[in-house]
Amino acid sequence: MLSDIHDTVRQNLESFGHKHTHLMAAFCLYGAYTVGSTALGWSWRFFKTFLRPSKNLFKRYHGGYVVVTGATNGLGLGYARKFAEKGFNLVLVARNSEKLNTVKSELLRSHPDIDIKLIQFDFDKPYTEEGYASLKESLDMMGDISVLVNNVGAIGTNLFEDMPIDIITRVMNVNLIPQVVMTKFLLPRLLRRSKEEGKRTAILSVSSAAHYIRLPKSTMYSCTKSFNKTFSDVIGKEYGKYIDVMVTTPGPVISNMVNEKAPFVITPEAHARWVLSDLGYNTETFGHYRHWMSTTMFRLPLLGTQFIKMRDRYLNDKSKSSN
Ligand SMILES: NC(=O)c1ccc[n+]([C@@H]2O[C@H](COP(=O)([O-])OP(=O)(O)OC[C@H]3O[C@@H](n4cnc5c(N)ncnc54)[C@H](OP(=O)(O)O)[C@@H]3O)[C@@H](O)[C@H]2O)c1
């Protein structure tokens, strides 16, 4: 019985192949193209991730000041440390003056030759000219800005119906407005530096793997992180000729948002090191190879469901240990 079916299918396929030789050739070509481009894509990814040497960023951007928002903890502090190691001066922006001063002292202890300026500013508000005037004035007074790191961000972890409205608006204020407004404030200067002074500049923005793996219990976070990704992609298309515009979509990094028990977690310093090794080459990066691999894997439908379950367990444990 089975062999009859097998014979019939084979005969039908053969006669289809004889009748439609062009179509069969097209199928074969498409198959070869798919296999070839996937193999090439993976080889290129492997080369970029593990073998390509980093650019000398200090030379590429001719030193200058790196502005980092949300610089007192987590990823922002990781970026500040790595840029300081490379010899850049820093402008650190965050909400808490005390923490800003502590970070400044810590960085100056290990890098006494760099200059560090501080801007205390709370991004948790909608944009108004008056509300943002002090930030604009402070930035206008800063010297030669070469790199903007749009890092500041906030998260809320709850089902949407249980998410308090003030957390919803906080996530929107802190994740959306600063990246747009900081870019708007500094873009003319970055462009001028690049076009008129011949010194290249950069805008590095922090999105999240939540852009790809849309996370339940973090609705606003996932949506705002997709905005960050799209915003950077489009700004890159507009200004990539003059400015290195890159967005990063990391997975879990140890910070106030995520503790060391999260799956696939890495340190902020490791994250910053991997991201900076792609700056000047890429328009987007996961940063650490572990986040490239985990995000690629968890974007597959069945594995994605497993990741959501794993994250739920992590969130439950985290809330139990914080109670
Ligand atoms: N951690 C992760 O696993 C992860 C993964 C992917 C993407 N990200 C992204 O990475 C970025 C940084 O996150 P993180 O995990 O490093 O967060 P974090 O540890 O909470 O640090 C946030 C930083 O932003 C500052 N900040 C927070 N609210 C602020 C406000 N309203 N105004 C001014 N400064 C404010 C904080 O300083 P003060 O509170 O002292 O002001 C701190 O310096 C975010 O964009 C986040 O979406 C994080």
Mean pLDDT of the chain: 94
Predicted confidence (pLDDT) at residue 5 exceeds the cutoff of 90 = no
Residue 66 near residue 83, CB atoms below 8 Å: yes
Q: Report CA Rg, the chain.
A: 24
Phi and psi at residue 244, to the nearest 5°:
-75, 105
Question: Is the pLDDT confidence value at 83 over 90?
Answer: yes
Residue 130: the pLDDT is 98
Residue 140 pLDDT more than 80? yes
Q: 33-72, pLDDT tens digit by residue? A: 888 888 898 888 889 888 999 999 999 999 999 999 999 9
Q: How confident is the model at residue 322 (pLDDT cuts 50, 70, 90)?
A: confident
Question: Ligand 1 pocket check: which of 256, 288, 315 to mutate, most ligand atoms within 8 Å of Cβ?
Answer: 256
Which tokens go with 130?
A: 């008056």
Ligand 1 near 256 CB (within 6 A): yes
Residue 302, pLDDT score? 81
Which of 127, 134, 123 minimizes the C-alpha distance to 175? 123
Is 197 touching ligand 1 by the criterion CB < 6 Å? Answer: no
Spatial separation of the C-alpha atoms in residues 163 and 156, rounded to whole Å: 7
Residue 292 has pLDDT above 70, yes or no: yes
Q: What is the pLDDT of residues 222-240, one digit of tens each?
A: 999 999 999 999 999 999 9
Report the separation in Å between the CA atom of 106 and the middle of ligand 1, taken as the mean of its atom positions: 19
Say how many Å lie between the CA of residue 290 and the centre of ligand 1: 21
Alpha carbon nearest to ligand 1 atom 26, residue: 70
Residue 265 and residue 65: Cα distance in Å, rounded?
Answer: 30
For residue 245, the cross-strand partners are 203
Distances in whole angstroms, Cα of residue 28 to Cα of each of 9, 24, 212, 244: 19, 6, 32, 40
Q: Contact at 8 Å (CB) between 229 and 207?
A: yes
What CA–CA distance (Å, rounded) separates 183 from 150? Answer: 8
Q: Quick one: pLDDT at residue 1? A: 67
DSSP annotation of 253 reads B
Higher per-residue confidence, 1 vs 277: 277
DSSP per residue, 217-250: T-HHHHHHHHHHHHHHHHHHHHHTTTEEEEEE--
Q: Give the model's confidence band at 123: pLDDT under 50 very low, under 70 low, under 90 confident, else very high.
A: very high
Check residue 165 and give its pLDDT: 97
Sign (positive or negative) of CA dihedral 295, 80, 132, 102: positive
- Per-residue pLDDT, 323: 66
Q: Quote the pLDDT of residue 250.
A: 98
> Using CA positions, which residue lies closest to atom 22 of ligand 1?
70
CATH of span 57-322: 3.40.50.720
Taking 80 as the threshold, does the pLDDT of residue 17 lie above it? no
Distance 2 CA to ligand 1 centre (A): 62
Top mutation candidate among 106, 121, 152 for ligand 1, by most atoms within 8 Å of CB: 152
